[in-house]
Amino acid sequence: MTEPTAASPQTPYRVLARKYRPQTFAEMIGQEALVRTLENAIASGRLAHAFMLTGVRGVGKTTTARILARALNCTGPDGTGGPTVSPCGVCDSCRGIAEDRHPDVLEMDAASRTGVGDIRELIEGVRYRPVSARYKVYIIDEVHMLSNAAFNALLKTLEEPPPDVKFIFATTEIRKVPVTVLSRCQRFDLRRVELDVLAKHFAAIGGKEGIAIEEGALRLVARAADGSVRDGLSILDQAIALSGLGGEAGAQVTEEQVRGMLGLADRDQALDLFDAVMRGDPGAALERLAGLHGVGADPVVVIQDLLELTHFLTRLKVAPKSVAESGLSDAELARGQEISSKLGIAALARAWQMLLKGLGEVQTAPNPLQAAEMVLIRLAHVAELPPPADLIRQIREGGPAVAATAAAPVQPARPSAPSGPAAVSAPVPAPVGGDEPPPWVTSSQGGSGGAQALRSQPQPEAESGLSPNPQSYEQAVALFSTNREVLLQTELEMKAHLVRFEPGRIELRLEPTARPDLANQVGRFLTEWTGQRWVVSLSNAPGAPSLTEQRQAVENERLARAGEHPYVQSVKQHFPGAVIADVRVLKPAIAPPVPEVTLSGELESDVPDDLEEED
């Protein structure tokens, strides 16, 4: 009588991930450090009472937990054996655990049983001795899903369990597990399985199944698995089903079939696309993208392939020895060397940043193909630009672009027709008698950006290297601009209200959105910069408006006063829709300051209130 085949109804088909799940430590791949540690611990009898297994999905956490449970409870074929690194698989304990029916090995899914009640039920069972096994083993999968109350209920038992109880936890989110639990466990980090190891493993499984698999197909499957054995076996199972093969003689899974199944662009075509983009040829790049899309390549996958190529070519330039891990063939490697020899690190780094940003755009765009085209067009356009270092060098040396800019001084605009925006230069007498300009007059040299420009003049540094002691709140805030503490300066200008100021002491009321440690940080920096102790305290008093609000009030006053000037009103009558664009005090080298009023199609700034109408 012949043995039933995989397609026979007597034996339902088992997916490769279940059929080839390791049953002993020797069958595990890619986890040599873990296996060696557990084998030595079992052989020497130095067994922890709790184990924490962590790693990405599909690397063998639950499988390791079940093998460990069998290793601890195996009695050997004759029933007299002890804990062993090689479970026999034939004793009652081994078979019961393998079939998930052993009463002393309880496996719990924390994703579906997260409450404290479930943990209390588990703890109640800890008090009783094992029924037939040597150890009572509790396997809790996805342990990070437990609630805080459940973790707290487990702590005491986890710290001092009975000698015949073992806990084995598995999780993919180790950071979500409380440190109080981690400190009571032996932690094992399962690594991603390397590409070459996965490819060899899949080739061996293909041989056992009687199916030949091309080497390129194996590497594509291993690369798509991303270090997960289970994911790779699932993809391999799908590839075998796609090829229509079931173990027939001469059956083969080809690279082209796997590439089409995964929606991957052909690597040669991806290299051609990358070469066209980096040569600054958007037409050829769009043509190749359309060809890839026409054969089923996903635009998101195309951008991901370009990112992978950028990373590979960069590594090829800085660390040539590492290219052996990339999974490329000799022909692809030679092509990569040809392309990388034409590109610098700066160009590759710029391409990486643009592709990384473009990947997010393609993933969220209503039409991914259009978004991918725009990414390639931008990248091709940037490829024609000189490197930033060359631009900086050109600016420093006064290149043609800088010279052309310097040779063309800006002239005041003149109105050409009543129908368009107007720009009017109005000479205004400068203040005499040494009086300071009014607060709404902004120097063209100083600007109007910060508290330092509006409120105080820069203070010279002391000979000791320390900043002078501020005599006003505005001067104190200006120190943060001088010392380039821009974030703290912004917080003080926008979210702080001065209640009281005296040298060495500041009292503030902060907005609810201000950083909680703002007062401490301000006091510490002022003390450090001035060499004198500063105390910054908080108050509930309303205080003065913030510096930003004060500047805005001054700006609003300037707008209102400038708009009321008869000269400005006359200009508005001749040019309907014209608005004040800017108010500047021109300071020639010899002549006294001459304010200039610039108006445009929309009102943006103001005019001094002391403008006089011309006769």
For range 262-274, the mean pLDDT: 75
For range 180-192, the mean pLDDT: 89
Q: Kindly report, residue by residue over 307-349, the tens digit of the pLDDT.
A: 988 888 888 888 777 665 555 566 667 777 788 778 888 888 8
pLDDT band at 584 (very low <50, low <70, confident <90, very high): low
pLDDT band at 269 (very low <50, low <70, confident <90, very high): confident
pLDDT at position 418 over 80: no
pLDDT at position 596 over 70: no
Q: What domains, with CATH codes, occur in the chain? A: 31-189 (3.40.50.300), 195-262 (1.10.8.60), 267-383 (1.20.272.10), 421-426+440-615 (no CATH)
pLDDT band at 156 (very low <50, low <70, confident <90, very high): confident
Q: Kindly report, residue by residue over 109-121, the tens digit of the pLDDT.
A: 888 888 888 888 8
Contact assessment for residue 609 and residue 569, using Cβ atoms and an 8 Å cutoff: no
For range 120-124, the mean pLDDT: 86
Q: Which H or E element spans position 207?
A: helix 195-209
Place of tokens 């440690």: 517
pLDDT band at 424 (very low <50, low <70, confident <90, very high): very low
pLDDT at position 408 over 70: no
% pLDDT > 70, the chain: 76
For range 398-413, the mean pLDDT: 41
Place of tokens 């060397």: 337
pLDDT at position 436 over 50: no
pLDDT for 372 equals 92
For range 424-435, the mean pLDDT: 40
Of the ranges 313-322, 346-355, 590-599, which one carries the lowest mean pLDDT score?
A: 590-599
pTM, to two decimals: 0.54
pLDDT at position 169 over 90: yes
Q: How many CB atoms lie within 10 A of CB 353?
A: 11
pLDDT for 357 equals 92
Q: Kindly report, residue by residue over 47-87, the tens digit of the pLDDT.
A: 889 999 998 888 888 888 998 898 888 888 887 788 888 88
pLDDT band at 361 (very low <50, low <70, confident <90, very high): very high
Long-range contacts for 144-148 (Cβ within 8 Å, ≥24 apart)?
Answer: 144/110, 144/171, 144/172, 144/173, 144/174, 144/176, 144/177, 145/110, 145/111, 145/114, 146/110, 146/114, 146/119, 147/114, 147/115, 147/116, 148/178
Of the ranges 163-177, 291-305, 354-368, which one carries the lowest mean pLDDT score?
A: 291-305
pLDDT for 603 equals 42
Q: Phi-psi category of 504—alpha, beta or left, where left has phi over 0 and alpha has psi -120 to 50? A: left
Q: How far is CA 1 from the centre of its chain?
A: 60
Whole-number average pLDDT of the chain: 77
For range 192-204, the mean pLDDT: 87
Contact assessment for residue 2 and residue 241, using Cβ atoms and an 8 Å cutoff: no
DSSP string covering 405-421: HHTS---------TTS-
375 or 267, greater pLDDT: 375
pLDDT for 168 equals 92
